[in-house]
Structure 1
Amino acid sequence: MLRVRVDDWRRRGGRGGRKGGEEQVKLFFLTHMHADHTQGLHSEWDEGMIYCSQVSRSLLLDKFDVDPVRVVAMEIGVPKLLRLDTVKVTCIDANHCPGAVMFYFETQDIRLLHTGDFRLSPAMIREDSPLAMARDCHLVVDNTYCDPKHTFPSQQEAGQRILEL
Structure 2
Amino acid sequence: MPVDVARILPFAVDTWTPASSLKRHRFLTHAHRDYLVGIATAAAASIYATRLTILIALRICPDLDRAAFVEMEAGAPPLRVPDPDGDFTVAAFDANHCPGAVMFLFESPAFGTILHTGDCRLTPECLHTLPLQVQGRVDYVYLDCTFARCPLPFPSKEDSIRQVINCIWRHPNAPAVYLACDMLGQEDVLIEVSRTFGSKIHVDVDKTPDCHANLSLVAPDILTADAAASRFHVMAFPGLAERAAEILALARARGQPEPLIPMRDEVGVWHVCLSMHSSRDELERALEVVRPRWVVSTTPPVMAMDLSYVKKHCSLSRFAPDDPIWKVLGITTDAMSRTVVTGSPPQSSVETIEKSEVAVTCSVEEFGSDESRQVVEVAAEPTLESS
Check whether TM > 0.5: yes
Matches within 5 A, 1:59-74: 59-65=56-62, 66-74=64-72
Counterpart Cα distance in 1 of 2:95 and 2:15: 18
Matches within 5 A, 1:56-95: 56-65=53-62, 66-78=64-76, 79-84=78-83, 85-95=86-96
Q: Secondary structure at the match of 2:163?
A: helix
**How far apart are 1:82 and its partner, in Å?**
0.8
| Equivalent residue letter for 2:35 | H
**How far apart are 1:91 and its partner, in Å?**
0.3
Find the counterpart in structure 2 of residue 7 from structure 1. Answer: 14
- Of Structure 1 and Structure 2, the greater strand share is in 1
**How far apart are 1:146 and its partner, in Å?**
2.7
Deviations 1:90-132 (A, max 9, x none): 0010011111110000012311000111111122344xx3254
| Equivalent residue letter for 1:53 | T
Residues 36, 57 of structure 2: 8 Å contact kept? no
Counterpart Cα distance in 1 of 2:20 and 2:124: 43
- Please list every run of 5 or more consecutive structure 2 residues that lacks an aligned counterpart in the other structure: 1-7, 169-387
**How far apart are 1:36 and its partner, in Å?**
3.1
Counterpart Cα distance in 2 of 1:131 and 1:150: 30
Mapped pair 1:98 → 2:99:
yes
State the percentage of identical aligned residues: 31
- Please list every run of 5 or more consecutive structure 1 residues that lacks an aligned counterpart in the other structure: 15-23
Find the counterpart in structure 2 of residue 21 from structure 1. Answer: none
Matches within 5 A, 1:3-152: 3-12=10-19, 24-42=22-40, 44-65=41-62, 66-78=64-76, 79-84=78-83, 85-109=86-110, 110-126=112-128, 129-130=129-130, 132-134=132-134, 135-137=136-138, 138-152=140-154
Residues 125, 132 of structure 1: 8 Å contact kept? no
RMSD: 2.1
**How far apart are 1:45 and its partner, in Å?**
4.0
Residues 92, 131 of structure 1: 8 Å contact kept? no
**How far apart are 1:133 and its partner, in Å?**
3.7
Residues 95, 126 of structure 2: 8 Å contact kept? no
Q: Would you say how many aligned residue pairs link Structure 1 and Structure 2?
A: 153
| TM-score, structure 1 as length reference | 0.82
Q: Secondary structure at the match of 2:164?
A: helix
Q: Secondary structure at the match of 1:130?
A: coil
Counterparts in 2 of 1:131 and 1:93: CA distance versus 1, 3 Å? farther
Q: Secondary structure at the match of 2:39?
A: coil
Counterpart Cα distance in 1 of 2:155 and 2:37: 28
| TM-score, structure 2 as length reference | 0.37
